[in-house]
Amino acid sequence: MLSKVLIANRGEIAVRIMRACKELGIPTVAVYSDADKTALFVRYADEKIHIGSAPAAQSYLVKEKIIEAALQTGADGIHPGYGFMAENSEFATMCAKNNIEFIGPPVPAMELMCSKIDSKISMIKAGVSVVPGVTEAISDHERAKNIAHEIGYPVMLKASAGGGGIGIVKVENESEMEKALESVRRLAKSSFGDDAVFIEKYIHEPHHVEFQVIGDKHGHLIHVFDRECSVQRRNQKLIEETPSQAISPEIREAMGEQAKLAANTAGYYNAGTCEFMYKDGKYYFLEMNTRLQVEHPITEMITGVDLAREQLRVASGLELEYKQEDIKTKGHSIECRINFEDPLNKFMPCPGKITRYAEPSGPGIRVDSGIYQGFQFPPYYDSMGAKLIVWAEDRPRAIERMKRALWEFQIGGVKTNIPFHEVVMNDPVFKAGIYNTSYIPNNNIMERVVKYVEEKKAAAGNGKKVAAAMAAVETVIAASQSQQG
């Protein structure tokens, strides 16, 4: 077993990994920036090392500082969480050169899967179903237009090195192509250092279904079933649930085998996620995220598999604790990402001091959080502060439990997207399970959230006025009684 693990991340995912380490008896090291001096994950760790000022480019993204922190503390393993260094093959290579175990996949698998073009070529050769399109980087406008005509508009332009919904643009017709191509290439270059862009057929209103996989260094690899991730805003996931309501048991089994085929083709081990688009009985491999996913807790809730624990065991050279036939699912689980955003200001990030913080509790409730009352939520990183996860015997009861949990979740001093989740959980379309990736715009969800927040704000204001009026009346009555006395 690893003797000490440094977590090259922050917030709730750092706390999550530290908890898994604690249960395995592995001491932990936190690295932190100026903005995170008092963060929960820093308090939780056994050791802490300051690595720079608040901007990620001066702290969490500086490979040399993280490696030096590991060497200084004697950590023989580094867990990257998600984001920052999680899919950085150069960083994984640096770990290996310093005899530090990178708690993730092997570098060749990471390099293959982090290139959408290269991974698509490999998947086609292996017999994995992929989205129709081309497997070449496109830079010429005329070439792009010719390909789009062959495929048929609309098409998608995608950054080969992209991730997190960045570098994806829909092109409706030829007149949009030149401007869109230049825009995506420019964004890809600035975001990922690689301007390679390719073209795929646009699939109208599909489901985004992903399969969790995990393998060990001894050749064993399993899938841990599916997650529905179709509630998205600008290609960013907001709500995930499992199992998906869109796919049949037969399709689920076939997609699971395709996910394993994709992972085995890449020579993959440790945890990863194969993402698919699904529509009308057909499914297409999109990409593989070579890391633990934000939404991994819902898989843990329905299967009982501790994915972070398995990651640590695999990195320590141990075999998986499970075979494919051991993995069973029970009940239904939903995750809501609690983001610090202002619904009345175009959902812009809303950092600030948390003046009140009370988590929901009770049966089937889990909160993965990196915050607490009094914490100054920083403006430098992702706006997600916590994840609210529920489990119940079936989907209707899971939705009702989530509604109750959202009502209980109290966060003061800052704005959050809890009203968004409340609107969705009460929406007939979502409750019926008939939504897809166009769910939010098709059902005017954001507009309804704004209206909902405004109504709550008005009701709160009226309540204060009534309370003030009642207090005034009571004062007059008390004064009158005093005079009469």
Which pLDDT score, from 0 to 100, does residue 477 have? 45
What is the pLDDT at residue 472?
Answer: 53
Domain with CATH 3.30.470.20 in the chain: 207-448
- pLDDT per position as a tens digit, 366-422: 999 999 999 999 999 999 999 999 999 999 999 999 999 999 999 999 999 999 999
Confidence at residue 461, expressed as pLDDT on a 0 to 100 scale = 80
pLDDT at 283 (0 to 100): 97
Q: Please, what sign has the CA dihedral across residues 149, 151, 153, 155?
A: negative
Cis peptide before 243 (omega within 30 of 0): yes
User: Quick one: pLDDT at residue 165?
Assistant: 73
Q: How far is it, in rounded angstroms, from Cα 303 to Cα 309?
A: 14
d(CA 202, CA 178): 17
Query: Going by DSSP bridges, is the β-strand pair 410-412/356-358 parallel, antiparallel, or unpaired?
Result: antiparallel
Sheet holding 365-369, edge to edge: 282-289, 270-279, 207-215, 221-233, 236-242, 332-339, 384-392, 365-369
> Helical H runs in 164-248?
174-192
Q: Between 469 and 320, name the one with better pLDDT.
A: 320
What is the number of residues in the chain? 485
pLDDT at residue number 465: 55
pLDDT attached to residue 235? 85
158-172, 205-219, 291-305, range with the lowest pLDDT: 158-172
Domain with CATH 3.30.1490.20 in the chain: 132-201
User: Is 237 exposed, middle or buried (CB count within 10 Å of its CB: 0-12, 13-18, 19+)?
Assistant: buried
Q: Residue 30 above 50 pLDDT?
A: yes
How many Cβ atoms are within 10 Å of 275's Cβ, its own excluded?
19
291, 313, 337, 401: the active-site residue = 291
Question: Where are the CATH 3.40.50.20 domain residues in the chain?
Answer: 5-103
Domain 5-103 CATH assignment equals 2.40.30.10: no
Evaluate if pTM is beyond 0.85: yes
Q: What is the pLDDT of residues 326-373, one digit of tens each?
A: 999 999 999 999 999 999 999 999 999 999 999 999 999 999 999 999
Three-class DSSP category at 392: strand
What totals of helices (H) and strands (E) does the chain contain, helices first? 16, 22
Residues 37-50 pLDDT 10s: 999 999 999 999 99
Closest CA to 241 of 52, 124, 398: 398
pLDDT above 90 covers what percent of the chain? 91
Pairing of strands 28-33, 77-79: unpaired
Residue 322 reports pLDDT greater than 70: yes
Alpha-carbon gap, residue 271 to 183, rounded angstroms: 33
Look at residue 482 in the predicted model and tell me its pLDDT.
58
Query: Is 43 considered catalytic here?
Result: no
Mean pLDDT of the residues in the chain: 94
CATH assignment, 207-448? 3.30.470.20
CATH fold of the domain at 132-201? Dna Ligase; domain 1 (3.30.1490)
The answer to whether 352 and 358 are in contact (CB under 8 A) is no
- Residue 381 has what pLDDT? 97
The model's confidence at residue 483, banded by pLDDT at 50, 70 and 90, is low
